Chains A and B, each alone.
Chain A
Amino acid sequence: MNKTAKVLSFPRLGNYHIPIAFFVRKVLQVEVLEPLPMTRRTLEVGAKYSPEFVCVPFKYNLGNFIEALERGANVLVQAGGGCRFGYYAEVQEQILRDLGYQFEFINIVPTAKITPWSIYKKFKEINYNLNILRFIYYFYLVFRMTKMMESMEKYIRENGGFATKEKSLITIYQQFLTSLNTTNSWSDLKRKYLRYNRLLKAIELDKPSDYLKIGIIGELYTAMEPFSNCDIETNLISKKIAVTRLTTVTYLVFDKLRNRRQIINAAGQYATYSLGADGTDNIARAKYFGEHGYDGIIHTKPFACTPEVDAMPILQKISRDYNIPILYLSFDAQTSEEGILTRIEAFYDMVKMRRDRNEKGLFRS
């Protein structure tokens, strides 16, 4: 296996495959196989070989790996986190080995702590000639790239529904994403960002002063990967709602680790100790949304996600205390969107009625 060229692949999450693939190409100088867009087949093969009761991101990730191996990848990368996510790498590696695939498996978060230094050490194992300065340069560049993507996505979530020309914001953003692959330097990246960001902000908006605001909280994968949550963000945006979602990859990898104490403080009287994974963060966010006049909260989780199940009774209390409705959605390997769409439609109707009542008195004709 050592004689063949290395082809690296990794699971997909939102649009993050773009900076990750870029980083690996520049730093490791190996061939990168970008994960294909998620399809029903991804989930089918993933679920087929997964333990029945594992959370659904495991099934998606495994599906991504199998599809990558079929397309010729031989180096797979997986991360980990502070819940069942921490076991993904070992279990997935073993499942794939049992299926008879030949590959190298890299777990970049073996100890549930991810730092630039730990990533560097892992990368050094793959590419012995890796220069630390090159690593730092590209690490910073990709960090900035990811931040730029996130800031544009944030703008789209908050304003996408109000563009006078439908979907015009997302079109510009797609062009920006396509242009990222050819980035060759820091100044080049900055130029691209300024150009597309200007185009984005130039789109005319028709945003009323009393627009509806919904916050999305929940487990990181189902909150960030549109395929896994029936693309609820786009659905809400198309209903002229400003959507806020605070979970991002840079938040999870950088901000979260630095601010552990602040997060528990932000949860106020609702949590004294950490709930594990993103439970505490979501309590703090629900409280924030309640305090800042949001019309509703949507909480997403894979079926049986323990940290989020733990957070739910506290979220119910916040919902009562701040009089803010919360819609709880559980996702698993189901492919029918109908049930989810029904619940979101009803949630939208409710939020709108609540708002109308506050403005016009009672709702009833």
Chain B
Amino acid sequence: MKKGYLGVDVGSISTKGVIIDSDNNIIAEDYLWTEGNPVVAVKQLLKNLLVKTRNKDLLVVAVGTTGSARKLVGTILNAQVIKNEITAQAIGTLELYPEVRTIFEIGGQDSKIILIENGIIVDYAMNTLCAAGTGSFLSSQAKRLGMHPEDFGKWAIRSKKPTKIAARCTVFAESDLVHKAQIGHKKEDIIAGLCRSVVLNFLNNVGKGKNIKPPIVFQGGVSKNIGVVKAFADITGEEIKVHKYGHLTGAFGVALLAKRANDEHCFDFNFVNMHFETKGIECMKCPNNCEIICVYKNNKIIDSWGNRCDNGAVLKQ
């Protein structure tokens, strides 16, 4: 029986999972929409992974979680490692591209840049307070133009002369886009212009003041958009590497970390049949009214968080 290590990355938009073997090869992977319900998404993810590994004689011995729902999912999966997505993605990418110097990452709600030197993170930046130029912006604009986000890239690379679209803020970008469409710019030019504006926004925002050096790896959901990849290459003047598992590096990285944690116990796929529930309670013991989240497994509370002081911790009992 082979040992396997599970990494789960639950992001705002999508949920990703990989199982790796002891040689760090990806044996199974899956990708689906979170749709605002991380617990349901993870259950479905594990069901899919189970199907994909059925005949492989595999025993999952360590679990790691990352992404914005890492704590919730880590608790219900009883994970050995719960790690932030910045570290997880860097570790995952380094395994795929040991020589990488710069990582661009654009996901559903966030974008980040990670600088690497001699195999370690030396600097990073992440967007704050504003989701301008991320995947959710692109997909909402795709809807406005009446197409699937998946087709966006194909349209973009057809353009010879991308339309100029404001890059600073999505609200301005959107009104710019409407205006340009109404005065008769071609659809592919507008789409290419949007891809450009996402890249300019990224470089002006999170990339500001950073020393961007090749090799550059671009990942996250938006890296599947060839229009954005092309815009990055045009603007930076460097080759942009995109791995076929580029959207999975977070899950891959945290699976590696789970493997390195050296704390192995057999993971029970029976999890998918258990009943998990979360309840939000307002503490009401002081005007802060902390929103405390309680996690129940088969109607028994297993953890709670969200309280700022010990007064709220009583609810755990």
Contacts and interface: CB of A to CB of B under 8 A. Distances in A.
Contact of B84 (A37, A334, A349): A349
B120 A353 contact: yes
B118 A357 contact: yes
B289 interface: yes
Given A41-B289, A320-B211, A364 B94 contact: yes
Nearest to B210: A316
Contacts of B289: 39-41
A332 B130 CA distance: 12
A342 B84 contact: yes
A346 B209 contact: no
B128 A329 contact: yes
A339 interface: yes
Contacts of B85: 342
A346 B124 contact: yes
A40 B129 contact: no
Given A39-B287, A346-B86, A334 B120 contact: no
A345 B84 contact: yes
State the majority secondary structure of interface residues on B.
Answer: loop
A49 interface: no
A342 B120 contact: no
Interface string A17-39: 00000000000000000001101
Interface centre among B86, B98, B211, B287 (most CB of A within 10 A): B287
B287 A316 contact: no
Contacts of A317: 209
Given A316-B209, A320-B211, A39 B87 contact: no
A330 interface: yes
Contact of A365 (B209, B260, B288): B260
A349 B114 CA distance: 13
Interface residues of A, number: 37
A303 interface: yes
Contacts of A330: 128-129
Contacts of B287: 36, 39-42
A251 interface: no
Interface string B194-223: 000000000000001111000000000000
A313 interface: yes
A345 B128 CA distance: 15
Contact of B122 (A345, A354, A365): A354
B121 interface: yes
Interface in A322-365: 323, 325, 328-330, 332, 334, 338-339, 342-343, 345-347, 349-350, 353-354, 356-357, 362-365
A197 interface: no
B1 interface: no
B123 A39 contact: no
A312 B86 CA distance: 22
Interface string B72-110: 000000000001111100000010001000000000000
B94 A349 contact: no
Contacts of B94: 364
A319 B84 CA distance: 23
B149 interface: no
B51 interface: no
Interface in A168-223: none
Contacts of A353: 120-121
Contacts of A362: 118-120
A323 B208 CA distance: 16
B68 interface: yes
Interface in B122-163: 122-126, 128-129
B84 A346 contact: yes
Nearest to A313: B209
Contacts of A328: 125, 128
Nearest to B127: A339
A350 B122 contact: yes
Nearest to A351: B121
A356 B120 CA distance: 10
Contacts of B122: 323, 325, 350, 354
B208 A349 contact: no
A134 B286 CA distance: 38
24 contacts: A36-B287, A40-B290, A41-B287, A41-B289, A303-B129, A312-B209, A323-B122, A325-B124, A328-B125, A330-B128, A342-B85, A343-B84, A343-B126, A345-B83, A345-B84, A346-B126, A350-B86, A350-B123, A354-B121, A354-B122, A362-B118, A363-B119, A363-B120, A364-B119
Given A343-B126, A349-B83, 20 more contacts: A39-B289, A40-B290, A41-B287, A325-B122, A329-B128, A338-B68, A339-B128, A342-B68, A343-B86, A346-B86, A346-B126, A350-B124, A354-B120, A354-B121, A356-B120, A362-B118, A362-B119, A363-B119, A364-B98, A365-B260
Interface of B: 68, 83-87, 94, 98, 118-126, 128-129, 208-211, 260, 286-290
- Ranked 7 nearest A-B pairs via Cβ: A316-B209, A346-B86, A39-B288, A41-B287, A39-B287, A349-B87, A350-B121
